[in-house]
Amino acid sequence: MRWSKLYAPTLKEPPSDADVKSQELLIRGGFIKKTAAGVYSYLPLGFKVLEKITRIVREEMNAIGCMELLMPIMQPAEIWKITGRWEDYGPEMVKFKDRNKREFTLGPTHEEMITTLVKGELRSYKQLPVILYQINTKYRDEIRPRFGLLRAREFIMKDAYSFHASDKSLDETYEDMYGAYSKICERMGLKYFAVEADTGAIGGNNSHEFTVIAKNGESNILFCEKCGYAATDEKAEYKPNYPESKEELKELELVKTPGTKTVEDVAKFLNVPKEKIVKSMVYNGRNGIIMVLIRGDLEVKESKLRAYFADQTLRRASAEEILSSMKIPVGFLGPVNVGYPVFADLSVKNMRNYVVGGMKEGFHYVNVNHGRDFKVSAWIDVKTVTEGDLCPKCAHPLKMKRGIEVGQIFKLGTKYSEKLNAFYVDSNGSPKPFIMGCYGWGVSRTMAAVVEQFYDENGIVWPKSIAPFEVVVTVVNVTDSKQLKIGNDIYEKLLANGMDVILDDREVSAGFKFKDADLIGIPIRITVGKSIKNGEIEIKLRNSKDVVKVQLEAKYDKVLETAKKMLNTYKP
């Protein structure tokens, strides 16, 4: 490729709407261009990086015996209605009707589709296991599309699905996938965690997330330096450590607390610490309204609540819903005489004589005690675990880091095959539902996640395995025919020897060219300039100031050898 012919509109200034570095640098470097919120084009440089990531993912899938196919993005509603996910998946699902008023979705994921696809075709246990995958566009109308490719509405995913006749076989494939995902991260030189994860709308009972460490990540990872426990905060557990109150039970009292809206307001008004207050939250799900209690200074993790009730439709009730069902404004809710089932977080269990909403505008109850003043249907762990909480396995204080989820693997069991009547015949001749696994990898998200981990003040610092080019040959002055000829010869030589190289033959200043090469993050720069008079060119790595001078010879073997050697050991 000659830079003079490259379509890569670069920007000097960061775009005004970029909230994270990857979005800024990928737009500035001419890799991607925004069409609408969460909808991007991949320009030639971006497409090249995407292709390299795709190749790595594909090679690692094929290496563990997966077979690639391609399924439709447009999927009929019927199959989603059978599993119940037409409703349960929620508003992220893009739905539309065709001209005959038949309902469709643009697939956010493909469990229903693939199970329907193999149903009746994979018949015998002798054919199993089978692992199929595709690399395809997905649609999710995210609440907040942001951070460029990290949370897009149209994005590229590798999704694999496995079919088994035994749990043992599923376990083996799950292990293989775990290994393949680790290799994908390692081939890009990424620092990552593989952590226990919540299964969310996909379902199943066992899952790991692969999370690239990055300070702008949306995932919080809790981990234990002592025993190695690691989980996302959507799932993380902890060892509860709440001292038991020794107070005498005092008499329940309804007190005036006008104008108090938040826990802080109430604590200040009544002159008590936040730890003396219990927050009452109302949730609405498949089985109606419930109230959830937690200590005033702590937060509920909704994914843990949804997992506990196995109800993905469970959502915090809106102020209007609460007003219409309970006739009370949000700040004054409480469990005393509430008339709905009350579930309480473990943080409340050892408390006595606490404060809750008075179920009457402008009032709170003080000296409240569970058991005596209201009944708890169940004690549950729904707290958001934070740094310093104790490890659920070994009680050592947990640490927290931010990261970007690039992949997630799930053991699904028979959730989809049972609902969709997808059976095979076992060795005794009886029909059994397939035991399944599913394994997603965010291909386009990976491109941004890599940038989040590898950039500096001058631009992107790509790992060599996915850099848009491995080498740039920069001709300092293209009007100097000698420089241009040598630059061109070196370019041809490297190209002929399998290197991915671009020749910067543009008629612009050397500084401008250097800046662009740094911005788009090419690992090696070969500079052909004035020093050719001394029979030399210069080679430099993207992330080092050191310049290596190489002697020019007739066939440029020394240049080739040095460039190859430097690339081999290059790390961002």
What are the residues binding ligand ATP (CB under 6 A)?
A: 109, 140, 142, 151-152, 155, 157, 200, 202, 405-408, 440, 442, 444-445
Amino acid symbol at 565 = K
Minimum distance from CB of 58 to ligand ATP (Å)? 16
Task: Indicate which of Mg ion, ligand ATP, none lies near residue 537 (CB less than 5 to 8 Å, by partner kind).
Answer: none
Separation CA 191–CA 214 (nearest Å): 9
Q: Does 83 bind Mg ion (CB under 5 A)?
A: no
Residue 128 binding: pick among ligand ATP, Mg ion, none (C-beta 5-8 Å cut-off by kind): none
- Contacts of 478 by beta carbon, 8 Å cutoff, 6+ apart: 484, 505, 506, 507
What residue has token string 């200590």? 295
The item of Mg ion, ligand ATP, none sharing an interface with residue 132, based on CB under 5 to 8 Å by kind, is none
Minimum distance from residue 203 beta carbon to ligand ATP (Å):
11
Q: Which is nearer to ligand ATP, 56 or 524 (CB)?
A: 56
d(CA 496, CA 364): 79
Residue 300 tokens read as 């509920």
Q: Give the shortest CB-259-to-ligand ATP separation in angstroms.
A: 38
**Looking at beta carbons, which residue is closest to Mg ion?**
408
Q: For residues 332 and 326, is the Cβ–Cβ distance under 8 A?
A: no
Say which entry of Mg ion, ligand ATP, none residue 151 contacts (CB below 5 to 8 A, set by partner kind).
Answer: ligand ATP
Compare residues 404 and 528 and give the one whose CB is closer to ligand ATP: 404
517 binds, among Mg ion, ligand ATP, none (CB under 5 to 8 A by kind): none
140 binds, among ligand ATP, Mg ion, none (CB under 5 to 8 A by kind): ligand ATP
Minimal distance in Å, beta carbon 298 to Mg ion? Answer: 24
Shortest Å, Cβ 193 to ligand ATP: 13
Cβ nearer to Mg ion, comparing 220 with 260: 220
Q: How far apart are the first and last CA of the chain?
A: 23
Q: How far is CA 417 from the centre of its chain?
A: 26
Separation of alpha carbons 408 and 405, rounded Å = 8
- Compare residues 290 and 404 and give the one whose CB is closer to Mg ion: 404
When the beta carbons of 155 and 469 are compared against ligand ATP, the nearer one is 155
Query: Measured from the CB of residue 91, what is the shortest distance to Mg ion in angstroms?
Result: 17
* Closer residue to ligand ATP (CB): 276 or 304: 304
The interface partner of residue 334, options being Mg ion, ligand ATP, none and the CB cut-off 5 to 8 Å by kind, is none
Check if the beta carbon of residue 78 is closer than 8 Å to that of residue 45: no
Sheet strands side by side (includes 471-475) = 501-504, 471-475, 524-528, 536-541, 547-551
- Rounded Cα–Cα distance for residues 199 and 208 (Å): 9
Min separation Cβ 134 and ligand ATP, Å: 13
Which of ligand ATP, Mg ion, none does 406 bind, CB closer than 5 to 8 A by kind?
Answer: ligand ATP
Measured distance CA(435)–CA(424) in Å, rounded: 10
Q: Judged by CB, which is closer to Mg ion: 116, or 408?
A: 408
- What letter would DSSP give residue 423? E
Query: Toward ligand ATP, which CB reaches closer, 183 or 360?
Result: 183
CB of 158 to ligand ATP, least distance (A): 8
Neighbouring-strand partners of residue 255: 364
The H or E element containing residue 436 is strand 435-442
Least distance between ligand ATP and beta carbon 181 (Å): 10
Which residue, 384 or 408, has its beta carbon nearer to Mg ion? Answer: 408
Which does residue 184 touch among ligand ATP, Mg ion, none (CB within 5 to 8 A, set by kind)?
none
Which string of DSSP letters, residue by residue, matches 46-75? Answer: HHHHHHHHHHHHHHHHHHTT-EE----SEE
Find where tokens 């494939």 sit: 173
470: its two tokens: 């491995």
| Integer CA distances (angstroms), 451 to 29, 49, 198, 212, 520, in order | 12, 11, 26, 11, 11
Residue 416: other Cβ atoms inside 10 A: 26
Q: Which does 440 bind (CB under 5 to 8 A by kind): ligand ATP, Mg ion, none?
A: ligand ATP
Within 394-423, the residues that bind Mg ion by CB under 5 A are 408
Q: Which residue is nearest to ligand ATP (CB)?
A: 442
Residue nearer to ligand ATP on the CB measure, 204 or 521: 204
Write down the least CB distance from residue 156 to ligand ATP, Å.
8
| CA–CA distances in Å: residue 153 to residues 109, 142, 162, 453 | 13, 6, 26, 23
The count of residues interacting with Mg ion (CB under 5 A) is: 1
Nearer to ligand ATP, 91 or 288 (CB): 91
365 by Cβ neighbours in 10 Å (0-12 / 13-18 / 19+) ranks as: buried
Q: Which of 437, 438, 443 is nearest to 406 (CA)?
A: 443
- By C-beta, is 139 or 469 nearer to ligand ATP? 139
Task: In angstroms, give the least distance from the CB of 386 to ligand ATP.
Answer: 19
Residue 329 binding partner per list Mg ion, ligand ATP, none, with a CB distance cut-off of 5 to 8 Å that depends on partner kind: none
Cβ nearer to Mg ion, comparing 201 with 289: 201
Q: Please, what is the minimum distance in Å from the beta carbon of residue 375 to Mg ion?
A: 36
Residue 333 contacts by C-beta under 8 Å, 6 or more apart in sequence?
Answer: 280, 281, 282, 291, 322, 326, 357, 359
Give the nearest distance from C-beta 502 to ligand ATP in angstroms: 28
Are 96 and 139 contacting, i.e. CB atoms less than 8 angstroms apart? no
Q: Which two tokens stand for residue 35?
A: 């069409």
Residues that bind Mg ion (CB under 5 A): 408
